Structure 1
Amino acid sequence: MTRAEHPRALAHIQSLPSWLAGRVAAHGRSLVTRAIAEEGLKLTHHAVLAAVCEYGPVAQADLVRQLGFDAKDVVLLVNHLEDAGLAVRAADPRDRRKNAVTVTPAGVETLERCAALAERANAEFLAPLSEAEGRQLMELLTRVYEV
């Protein structure tokens, strides 16, 4: 194939909804990533901390299943959260052979600040839209995602 045979190949790819959705997602992720970096966390740290807060005390293996992260990555993420004083490992009250992760009070405070930072980043992300358009976008994205 030559350029003359397919002069608009890239334009075609860039016109696909899946391409645009990926670019939009990358932009939104970038905004949130920069925002929560103020707390010294990455998106994956934020997700683990949120899961620990919601489900804790929780075994690391359960975090792996709930988040769909690699087990080695979860260990490193929990290590970071523990070193920062945001989570602790202790014997799992349901099975003393396992460790469970629990959020600390400092972790809860950090999670609350991260939530506020993420909300502000998402407000910036949706700023080109009216409030009604933002709601409509969320409804449409949810519908496409849930298929």
Structure 2
Amino acid sequence: MTADVPRRATDHPGNPSPFALGLLLRQAHWRAAAVMTEALRPLGIELRHFAVLIVLVDRGPTEQRGLVDATGSDKAGIMRVVDDLERKGLAVRKSVPGDRRVRAVEITPKGRDLFDAAHVAAEPLAGRLVSMLSPAEADQLTDLLTRFTAQADD
């Protein structure tokens, strides 16, 4: 091969393509999402629901536009998720003092119980997710991804 031939993206380990990291992260996301979906299924919610519950537990009552920003969803998608959470009794919309048009979403006690149950259900599956790594490698992966995603937030 000559030096002017571009490095092409493949799904082979060790690929030197400039797209390799993104492809690996996407494959890792698919794998993690499949495992976490398995943990949430018996609880009757999906990852998109759990993503909103994470924000509500972390931030407390949050305006719907804040949920859009926090989850990377769009306005219509958040509306559907919040509708689902309300229907299941896991969250409620409340008026925001000073602006009747704006609604904040708040987790309910039932939602918090489900949130806690999801963590218990996910524990053994999360271990399986990193079973091919040593405990030190799993910790290192978590640290690297934490720093990588924190940099993206800056």
TM range (shorter): 0.7 to 0.9
User: Could you tell which deviates more after superposition, 74-83 or 86-95?
Assistant: 86-95
Quickly say closer, same or farther: Cα 1:52–1:140, change in 2 above 3 A. Answer: closer
Alignment RMSD (CA, Å): 2.0
Q: Secondary structure at the match of 1:14?
A: coil
1:13 aligned onto 2:17:
no
In the TM superposition, 1:41-80 aligns within 5 A as 41-80=45-84
User: Could you tell which deviates more after superposition, 12-21 or 55-64?
Assistant: 12-21
1:142 aligned onto 2:142:
no
1:27 aligned onto 2:20:
no
Q: Secondary structure at the match of 2:73?
A: coil
Task: Give me the TM-score of the superposition, normalised by structure 1.
Answer: 0.81
Question: 1:94-143 CA deviation, whole Å, 9 max, x = no partner?
Answer: 53332211111000000111122233322110111111111122233334
Identity of aligned residues (%): 33
Moved runs in structure 1, 4+ residues, more than 6 A?
A: none
For structure 2, the residue ranges without an aligned partner over 5 or more in a row are 1-7
Q: Are 1:58 and 1:92, in contact at CA under 8 Å, matched by a contact in 2?
A: no
User: Could you tell which deviates more after superposition, 46-55 or 136-145?
Assistant: 136-145
Aligned to 2:91: 87
2:29 counterpart letter in structure 1: A
Question: 1:53-74 CA deviation, whole Å, 9 max, x = no partner?
Answer: 2223221111112222100000
Name the count of aligned residue pairs: 137
Inter-partner Cα distance in structure 2 for 1:95 and 1:86: 24
Question: 1:23-64 CA deviation, whole Å, 9 max, x = no partner?
Answer: 232111100111111111111100111212222322111111
Aligned to 1:117: 121
Inter-partner Cα distance in structure 1 for 2:55 and 2:29: 22
Task: Give me the TM-score of the superposition, normalised by structure 2.
Answer: 0.78
For structure 1, the residue ranges without an aligned partner over 5 or more in a row are 1-8
Q: Secondary structure at the match of 2:45?
A: coil
